[in-house]
Chains A and B, each alone.
Chain A
Amino acid sequence: SQKIEQNSEALNIQEGKTATLTCNYTNYSPAYLQWYRQDPGRGPVFLLLIRENEKEKRKERLKVTFDTTLKQSLFHITASQPADSATYLCALDRSGYSTLTFGKGTMLLVSP
């Protein structure tokens, strides 16, 4: 069956460091992969999308890589800030209609 795995344990880092979150998937050939941020009690908010023919995508302090051979995406936040503390979700499109399958998310805690 299709599976998406993200680090289940919370990631604790110090302010100013780079946070790296992992998303692994099996039994998929996704056209693209998305990353969302979710704060407690709120809906997910879109951050970045990367297509299967793209190796890397950047947006301000965020960087996403996509390795279709390893079936893995890495999500980096450079110069992290306490305001970056949230749960980060990885999602893949199953159908082409943006019917997303989400990972369980990784909680990031950035301490001052």
Chain B
Amino acid sequence: NAGVTQTPKFRVLKTGQSMTLLCAQDMNHEYMYWYRQDPGMGLRLIHYSVGEGTTAKGEVPDGYNVSRLKKQNFLLGLESAAPSQTSVYFCASWGGMSSYNEQFFGPGTRLTVL
């Protein structure tokens, strides 16, 4: 089991460029999440999904879009990157209340927007 994987690990964008971050999990989890982590701030929830084909907004959704076309994948898109989106992005998955309740996190994607 690879757990939760994220692609890419690092990326540098110019302001206004677009990109997609890919998250994949092989644990058959229903729930998936995207968080961002900035210095001096806790992890903040961007968007989440409670199942294939569903998405919902988290605490800081502006400037991001997501899609969950397949159960194992959760994509985070930036349509027009801004310097304020420079951050480390973490994807996570959760098996639901029948599991132990822990979330499994990926290794992160470090994004810099110039």
Contact = CB atoms under 8 A, between A and B. Distances in A.
28 contacts: A4-B42, A34-B103, A42-B107, A43-B105, A43-B106, A43-B108, A44-B43, A44-B90, A44-B103, A44-B105, A46-B102, A49-B102, A91-B43, A97-B31, A97-B48, A97-B50, A98-B31, A98-B33, A98-B101, A98-B103, A99-B33, A100-B33, A101-B42, A102-B35, A102-B43, A102-B44, A104-B41, A104-B42
Contacts of A107: none
B94 to A, nearest CB: 5
B58 interface: yes
Interface of B: 4, 31, 33, 35, 40-45, 48, 50, 58-59, 90, 92, 94, 100-108
A104 B40 contact: yes
Interface of A: 4, 32, 34, 41-46, 49, 89, 91, 97-105
